[in-house]
Structure formats: C-alpha cells, structure tokens
C-alpha cells in the first residue's frame, strides 16, 4: 500500500512536469487554492435553496469541464441524469449560455422561445450556423431524462463502463492477494461464483474523465428495497455514488441537492450570532436526507444574500449587484479548509457564473460594469 501510494505521487508529479493534468481545473481561479477542481474518484455535493441556482452552477462546471478537456486533448463523458428538466429544456439553457459567452447576446429561455415577441432572427441564424457544435456538446454531455430510480441510474453508468473498459474479478478465498484476476468475459465462464468478488476496473482510455450527475436528489424515485425517498437517496449516495461510481470505477459523481426551506428550518433561525450565518446553506440543512454528507468528499453551498435583504455581504455591495451576486462556500472539504467563500457574478438567464475580484478591489464604476455585462 505505501509503495503503491508513493509511486502514484511520483507519477502525478511527472505528469504535471510533462504538461499533463491531474484534475479538471476549478473554473474559479482564486477558489482553486481551496478546491483545485473535479478529481477522479471524488464525490461532490452542490447544494442551495430553491431558485438560488444549483442547476445553473452545475451546468457552469460542466461547460467549463468540456472546454478544459478539449483544450488539453482529454476525452470527456458526462452522464447527466436530469430528474427535473427535459432534454429540450437543457438544450434551450445551453443555447442561452452559448449566445452570452460566445456572442455577448443576452437572451433568456422565454425570449428564446418567442413567448412575448418574436426572437431576433439573428439569434436563430447563429444557432443554426453552429448546430454541429451543439451536436458535439450533446455527445460529450449526454442528457438522460427517462431514468430516475437509483438502480436504473447505476445500470446506465455500468453500461457505459462496460463499453469503455474492463471489469476484473478475483476469488477472495483462494486468492486474497489478487494474483490471478479474471476479466469480465473470463468470469462469465466460472460456474460457481459464490467465492468471487469485484477486483478492479480499467478504462480503455485512462486519460478520460467521466462525470455522473444526478440533478436533483430529492426527485429520485423509490424502488424495491428502497421504498421511501430517504432510502432511495441513501442507496444512490452510499451504494452507487460512493462505492460503485467513485470508488470502483474512479468516476466523478455530482449530487445536486436542495437545502430545506426556511419554514422547514425554523429551529435553526433562533440560534447563532449573525443573521447571515443562520441563512447560509449548511450540511445540516441538506433536504430529505442528511446522510449524503457522509459519502461526499466535497460539499459546495451556493448563497444568495440579496434574496434575504442583505445589502452588504463579505464587503461586496449586493445592493448594487442584487440578484446577480452569489457566494460559493465550502461546507465540507476532505482535503482542505472549510468555510471558505468566494464571490461570483451570476447571470441567471444565461446560466453563467464568473469569479469576482476581491471586494476590496472593486470600485463603483466596476460594479456598474458588472451589472451591464
């Protein structure tokens, strides 16, 4: 174990010296000193109250991941289990993000669909011209909106793993040191499998990053032997998310989970020193099943102080930025500090986030510029 770990450390160092990467970098550069990025084999929870932007935040990480992987010539596959959105809804939000980032055109989903007045023909022409690019994105980020139960989700993930790698098995009684492992094809020929167990998984492309997203957890469907939402969430989190998807397959798992509403959380608002601290997302306010926090390596909370009438937060002037300010907070960080925050500019209609400079460096003209971006 020790020798193997030391070899891994040396190998990671050499990879960096060779210009390779060991994780998908954090899209927020200053925040990367706390959370370097998406690391293979890690489980992440993104959490916030309803309407704060959990899904948009998740999409921003995924869009960034795709750009990062393309720039570094790395294969990326996202299996995005959309329990709330349809594939068409996801596509429309993708169009809005693309129009804003690439063409500086601000269009929300309703405007894009010509709900009040006809959308500018220029917008349609741009989308048609770049249709192939969207098709390529859809191949890398696969939206699955027809599976909502834990076993069904893991079955789809395992199908991808089988198509793109090899499972190995060993006889834990006769060969506990795993000297003679069998591939899946060889294992299928074994008649008595009672003393055999999963050994490890080797992907065909060891550089590939696979990200599995479940958005959001409270919409999971109960199933056999997990007949309640709480049990379904536990199964998805502990059995499939932590054990199978991250530990066995070395994939990245993202659980998008609600915070309980203010009404459900009334008891928390009676204690504490500062009102802001009572309103921020916490591990204790993870909705419907708090046990998921045990499985995660990293939990990030997204907070909208302006929603709660806070006009100055962490020295940022949220009275000016209003609903376009968000703070991301480390609620759990198995490998680093917790309670760290960074301010973000949020353009909700465009599914776009950007890290703000430190509050001490922002002038009044800069605030106005951020509002007009």
Say if 271 falls within a structural domain.
Answer: yes
3-state secondary structure of 58: helix
Please check whether residue 293 lies inside any domain of the structure: yes
Total structural domains within the chain? 1
Do the beta carbons of residue 98 and residue 126 sit within 8 Å?
Answer: no
Residue 263 has pLDDT above 80, yes or no: no
Q: Give the whole-angstrom CA distance, residue 234 versus residue 291.
A: 7
Q: What separation, in Å, do the N-terminal and C-terminal C-alpha atoms of the chain show?
A: 52
The reply to whether 358 falls in a domain is: yes
With a cut of 50, say whether residue 22 has pLDDT above it.
Answer: yes
Confidence of residue 266 (pLDDT cuts 50, 70, 90): very low
Q: Is residue 58 part of a domain?
A: yes
- pLDDT value at 130 more than 90: yes
Host H or E run for residue 171: strand 165-171
- Contact yes or no for 165/202 (Cβ under 8 A): yes
Cα 199 to Cα 45: distance, rounded to the nearest angstrom: 27
Per-residue model confidence as pLDDT tens digits over 300-351: 999 999 998 999 999 999 999 999 999 999 999 999 999 999 999 999 989 9
Whether 17 is in a domain gets the answer no
With tokens 């060891």, the residue in question is 206
Q: Give the model's pLDDT for residue 262.
A: 59
Within the chain, how many helices (H) and strands (E) appear? 13, 16
CA dihedral of residues 110, 143, 50, 316 (deg, nearest 10): -80
Q: How confident is the model at residue 274 (pLDDT cuts 50, 70, 90)?
A: low
Q: Please, which pLDDT band fits residue 1 given cuts at 50, 70 and 90? A: confident
pTM of the model: 0.93
The answer to whether residue 182 is domain-embedded is no
**Domain extent at residue 329:** 24-164+204-372
Q: So what's the pLDDT on residue 272?
A: 43
Query: Which residues, 6+ apart, have CB-to-CB distance to 230 below 8 Å?
Result: 288, 289
Residue 194 counted as domain residue: no
The 10s digit of each residue's pLDDT in 184-206 is: 999 999 999 999 999 999 999 99
- Looking up residue 264, the CATH number of its domain turns out to be 3.40.50.300
Tell me if 2 is assigned to some domain: no
Question: How far from 138 is each of 78, 102, 141, 161, CA to CA, in Å?
Answer: 9, 18, 5, 19
| Contact assessment for residue 302 and residue 328, using Cβ atoms and an 8 Å cutoff | yes
């Amino acid at each position: 174990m020790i020798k193997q770990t030391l070899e891994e450390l040396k190998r990671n160092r050499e990879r960096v010296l060779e210009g390779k990467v060991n994780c998908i970098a954090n899209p927020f550069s200053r925040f990367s000193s706390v959370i370097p990025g998406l690391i293979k084999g890690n489980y992440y929870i993104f959490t916030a109250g309803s309407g704060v932007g959990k899904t948009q935040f998740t999409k921003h990480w995924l869009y960034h991941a795709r750009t990062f992987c393309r720039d570094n010539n790395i294969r990326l596959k996202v299996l995005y289990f959309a329990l709330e959105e349809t594939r068409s809804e996801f596509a429309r939000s993708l169009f809005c993000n693309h129009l804003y980032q690439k063409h500086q055109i601000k269009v929300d989903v309703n405007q894009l669909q010509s709900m009040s007045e006809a959308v500018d023909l220029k917008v349609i022409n741009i989308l048609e011209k770049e249709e192939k690019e969207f098709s390529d994105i859809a191949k890398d980020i696969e939206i699955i909106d027809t599976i909502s139960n834990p076993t069904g989700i893991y079955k789809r993930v395992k199908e991808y793993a089988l198509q793109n790698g090899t499972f190995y098995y060993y006889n834990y009684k006769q060969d506990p040191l795993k000297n003679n492992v069998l591939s899946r094809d060889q294992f299928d020929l074994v008649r008595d499998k009672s003393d055999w167990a999963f050994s490890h998984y080797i992907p065909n492309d060891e550089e590939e990053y696979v990200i599995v997203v479940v958005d959001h957890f409270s919409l999971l469907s109960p199933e056999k032997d997990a007949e309640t939402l709480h049990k379904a969430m536990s199964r998805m989190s502990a059995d499939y998310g932590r054990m199978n998807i991250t530990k066995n397959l070395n994939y990245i798992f993202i659980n998008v989970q609600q915070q309980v509403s203010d009404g459900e959380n009334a008891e928390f608002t009676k204690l504490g020193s500062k009102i802001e601290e009572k309103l921020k997302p916490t591990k204790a306010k993870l909705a419907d099943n708090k046990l998921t926090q045990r499985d995660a390596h990293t939990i990030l909370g997204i907070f909208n102080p302006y929603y709660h009438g806070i006009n100055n937060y962490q020295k940022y002037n949220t009275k000016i930025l209003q609903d376009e300010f968000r703070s991301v907070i480390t609620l759990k960080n198995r490998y680093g500090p917790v309670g760290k925050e960074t301010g973000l500019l949020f353009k909700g209609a465009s599914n776009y986030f950007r890290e703000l400079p430190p509050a001490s460096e922002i002038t009044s003209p800069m605030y106005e510029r951020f509002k007009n971006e």
